[in-house]
Structure 1
Amino acid sequence: MFIRCWGSRGSIPVSGPEYNRFGGDTTCIEIRNDDDDIVVVDAGSGIRRLGNLLLKEGRFDLTMLFTHAHWDHVLGLPFFKPVYMPQTTLQIHGCPFEMGDLFKVLQQVMNAPYFPVQYGELLSTRNHSLACDLEIMVGGMSINSIPLSHPNKGQGFKFEEKGKSFVFLTDNELDFEHPGGTTYEDYLAFSKGADLLVHDAEYLPTEYEKLTRGWGHTTYTRALELAIEAKVRAFGLFHLNQDRTDEQVDAMVEDCRRIAAQRGVDMEIFAMAQDQEITL
């Protein structure tokens, strides 16, 4: 299983020298199974560059998953060039959200006055599947879902192939159960023994205590606790705050490594960076 991150920033794309190493694009993850089938998770601003690569490679058959429909996870869709190509076929999976089913939500992203080309005018073939308890196979890779604890609902995903597993839980608040979400114990069971857990790590504990509780995101220390309790092999901090500089992200990672070392935990810990590639 091959994983590539096209964007790990939260809330809004950012640019500038202070973001050079971890990047400024919002959520988009590419997963390729051992048969080289391609799965794309979310259409944040990072999907624009992924689309350019896919056209260069001549790849037009894709599976797309959406965690949820907040702006930073869908705003790149109008700039994803494969959706304008008649040879492109997308199998799109997503749970109905509070804003409506996924088909209607994606239509709204491109409706006037927000964008000049309407979703219904795209030349690609887009097959929509609405399932809140996703259980599908893409080649030899299984994909399962779990509800996210996040405003307006969402889904996290587990990818498993040949004994390897990758759990992706962005935009997930572990200490506040939003309507449609589930419990910490459920996320723990879902993540148990994963080779890689990538989890929302938006906030510092001080930010969470003062202001952001209930906003749908988790502190990096609480996400680390989940990783430790789940006994995962590697933990990636994700949904990096739009105002968090590279140096500040480094400090979060170092603190996680310090805490893990104090607890005698042998785990790879890093912040997910734009263009980072991982093979499981």
Structure 2
Amino acid sequence: MRITCWGSRGSIPVSGPEYIRYGGDTTCLEIRPRSGEVVIVDAGTGIRRLGNALVAEGRLSCHFIFTHAHWDHLMGFPFFKPLYRSDAHFYMHRCPFASKFVETMLSRVMSPPNFPVRYTDIQASISYEEACPTCFSIGSLSVSPIALRHPNSGSGYKFMEDGKTFVFLTDNELGFPHPGGPPVEDYVRFCQGADLLIHDAEYTPEEYRQTIEWGHSVYTDVLDLAMQAGVKRLGLFHLNQDRTDDEVDVMVSTCRSILKSRGSTIDCFAVGVHQVFDI
């Protein structure tokens, strides 16, 4: 599978010379399995550039998966150009949400007075895939959800194809047991041996003293999870909106020093816009 990051910032998009390397757009990932489907995870502001690229490529059939309903993961949806193409078709996966949650979530983003175009005015054809409690497939890709430790809940995902595993856990607070969120041991099992783990790493230990219960992790806790699970590569994600590229580099350098001191071979890095992973 090929994974492309179109946005990795948290909470709100940012711009400026201090955000060039990792980008300023909020969460959006594109996954392309061997079978050829386009799978989009979350619709943060990064989805605008993705939509432009898909139109240019002529790829107008997409599968959508959402982690949760917070604004920074949805705010780009109305600016996804294929929405306004009558020859486009989208498959919205409700898993693991119940009933018509996805329809309601997306229609609210485009409801007056928030946006001038109504959800009902979308020209693309939209199908809603039924919810499932454990796992589902998109072409050759197998997808398994796990509950997140985050306010208002949400889901992380494990994507598997041809013996390779990618785990995506954004907006996940390892240091606090939010209602409905599993113990850390469950995440260790969920991530065990993953070829790539991309995980929320919003805070430093100092910042976390003031932000506990906000739904995001200390990057050193994420590093501990990766080592316990024996993952091969770790991408730090949901980069704080106030953290400059240089400060992100310091965070990565600290992680690499810790890994070296413990004899770990994990490849640790921060996830930036347009970064591509082939696993």
| TM-score between both structures, scaled by the size of structure 2 | 0.97
Partner of 1:96: 97
What do the CA deviations read for 1:245-271 (whole angstroms, capped 9, x no partner)?
A: 001000000000000111100011100
Please, what is the CA RMSD of the aligned residues?
A: 1.2
SS of residue matched to 1:111: coil
The amino acid that maps onto 1:87 is: D
Partner of 2:111: 111
Name the CA distance, whole Å, in 1 between partners of 2:83 and 2:182.
Answer: 34
What do the CA deviations read for 1:26-58 (whole angstroms, capped 9, x no partner)?
A: 000000011221100000000000000101111
What do the CA deviations read for 1:58-109 (whole angstroms, capped 9, x no partner)?
A: 1111110000010100000000011111111111124438xx8121111100
The amino acid that maps onto 1:17 is: P
Report if aligned partners of 1:172, 1:218 keep a CA contact under 8 Å in 2: yes
The amino acid that maps onto 2:247 is: Q
Name the CA distance, whole Å, in 1 between partners of 2:109 and 2:50.
Answer: 19
The number of residues matched between the two structures is 277
Name the CA distance, whole Å, in 1 between partners of 2:65 and 2:124.
Answer: 17
The amino acid that maps onto 2:131 is: A
2:138 is the alignment partner of 1:167: no
Partner of 2:249: 250
What do the CA deviations read for 1:89-143 (whole angstroms, capped 9, x no partner)?
A: 111124438xx81211111000000000011110111122353635111111101
Name the CA distance, whole Å, in 2 between partners of 1:123 and 1:180.
Answer: 37
Name the CA distance, whole Å, in 1 between partners of 2:50 and 2:240.
Answer: 22
SS of residue matched to 1:6: strand
Pairwise CA distance, 1:14: 0.1
Partner of 1:32: 32
Please list every run of 5 or more consecutive structure 2 residues that lacks an aligned counterpart in the other structure.
none
Partner of 1:125: 125
SS of residue matched to 1:226: helix
SS of residue matched to 2:246: helix
Partner of 1:156: 156
SS of residue matched to 2:18: helix
Report if aligned partners of 1:220, 1:237 keep a CA contact under 8 Å in 2: yes
Partner of 1:42: 42
The amino acid that maps onto 1:72 is: D
Greater mean alpha carbon deviation, residues 17-26 or residues 171-180? 171-180
Partner of 1:270: 269
Greater mean alpha carbon deviation, residues 139-148 or residues 227-236? 139-148
Name the CA distance, whole Å, in 1 between partners of 2:242 and 2:272.
Answer: 15
Alignment of structure 1 residues 137-156 onto 2, 5 Å: 137-156=137-156
Report if aligned partners of 1:157, 1:168 keep a CA contact under 8 Å in 2: yes
Name the CA distance, whole Å, in 2 between partners of 1:123 and 1:134.
Answer: 32
Partner of 1:220: 219
SS of residue matched to 1:278: strand
Name the CA distance, whole Å, in 2 between partners of 1:113 and 1:206.
Answer: 39
The amino acid that maps onto 2:12 is: I
Name the CA distance, whole Å, in 2 between partners of 1:275 and 1:268.
Answer: 19
What do the CA deviations read for 1:172-214 (whole angstroms, capped 9, x no partner)?
A: 00111212221101111110000000000000001112x1010
Pairwise CA distance, 1:274: 0.6
SS of residue matched to 2:56: helix
SS of residue matched to 1:186: helix
Report if aligned partners of 1:2, 1:277 keep a CA contact under 8 Å in 2: yes
SS of residue matched to 1:206: helix
Pairwise CA distance, 1:2: 0.3
Partner of 1:232: 231
Greater mean alpha carbon deviation, residues 5-14 or residues 170-179? 170-179
The amino acid that maps onto 1:78 is: P
* Structure 1 consecutive aligned stretches of length 4 or more whose deviation exceeds 4 Å: none
